[in-house]
Amino acid sequence: MFVVVVTAYVKEERVKDFVEAVLDNARNTRDEPGNLRFDVLREEGESTRFMLYEAYRTKEDFAAHQQTAHYLRWKTAVADWMAEPRTSVKAQSVFFGNGE
Amino acid sequence: MFVVVVTAYVKEERVKDFVEAVLDNARNTRDEPGNLRFDVLREEGESTRFMLYEAYRTKEDFAAHQQTAHYLRWKTAVADWMAEPRTSVKAQSVFFGNGE
């Protein structure tokens, strides 16, 4: 599986908006046939730091995700809400623990 | 859900041993009643950097995991195989995308 882990520091006054936008993206992404996970996480003790944990069957499925209306809507919406540029790590799974 | 994301840089000559040890830990952890995910990832373009993505129903389930024989076996085994100290981020889920 192809996994992307995104880290986002959000401006404090935009956290509520960010959560709303990311839930729209996450729910729609879970309906993509190539998507296997889209967990949205909020760091303990760092309430403006979020992680998105996204897993796709293949790298091509992730590329297709980046062309969807819900991804583009999310990307545009959150652009001005970041406290600093988002970072991401891309990885391949060695073990994908629930058999999907 | 309570999530722990561990990042481990492994000594190049110990990567094979590390993978074997982490698979033993991952498979056994998936059998814990409080565990929901244990994905093992290898970063693209950085073949000695691994991430463990572990999700538990509660923080107490993670504490229980840290008392298991398979966790302690893993922790002891890998201690000398790290190229630098492991880091981890702890988080709570805002959205846990497959309904578990």
- pLDDT, tens digit, 9 for 90 and up, residues A33-83: 999 999 999 999 999 999 999 999 999 999 999 999 999 999 999 999 999
CB pair distance less than 8 Å for B94 and A22: yes
Residues from chain A that touch B26, judged by Cβ atoms under 8 A, are 95, 97
**Both tokens assigned to A88:** 């991401």
pTM: 0.95
Which residue in the set A23, A91, A93 is minimally distant from B95, CB to CB?
Answer: A23
- pLDDT, tens digit, 9 for 90 and up, residues B55-79: 999 999 999 999 999 999 999 999 9
Residue B7 has pLDDT above 70, yes or no: yes
> From residue A46, how far is each of A12, A49, B57, B93 by CA, in Å?
11, 6, 20, 13
* Cα–Cα distance measured from residue B68 to residue B56, given in angstroms and rounded to the nearest whole number: 14
Q: Which residue of A has its CA nearest to B46?
A: A91
- What type of residue is A87? T
Q: What is the DSSP string of chain A?
A: -EEEEEEEEB-GGGHHHHHHHHHHHHHHHHTSTTEEEEEEEEETT-TTEEEEEEEESSHHHHHHHTTSHHHHHHHHHHGGGBSS--EEEEEEEEE-TT--
Give the per-residue pLDDT at B98: 64
Disruptive mutation site among A29, A98, A100 for chain B (greatest number of B CBs within 10 Å): A98
Q: Is A90 on the interface with B (CB under 8 A)?
A: yes
Residue B89 has pLDDT above 90, yes or no: yes
Disruptive mutation site among A19, A43, A53, A74 for chain B (greatest number of B CBs within 10 Å): A53
- pLDDT band of A20, cuts 50, 70, 90: very high
Ordered domains of chain B (ranges, CATH):
2-92 (3.30.70.100)
Give the per-residue pLDDT at B100: 46
Q: Is B10 on the interface with A (CB under 8 A)?
A: no
Cα angle: B58, vertex B60, B65; to 5 degrees: 100
**Both tokens assigned to B70:** 């398979």
Q: Where on the phi/psi map is residue B99: left (φ > 0), alpha (ψ -120 to 50), or beta? A: left
CB A98 within 8 A of CB B27: no
CB pair distance less than 8 Å for B96 and A3: no
Instruction: For residues B22-47, give the mean pLDDT.
Output: 96
CB pair distance less than 8 Å for B92 and A42: yes
Residues from chain A that touch B56, judged by Cβ atoms under 8 A, are none
Nearest partner of B42 among B4, B16, B68, B60, judged by Cα: B16
- What type of residue is A26? A
- pLDDT band of B53, cuts 50, 70, 90: very high
Give the per-residue pLDDT at A100: 46
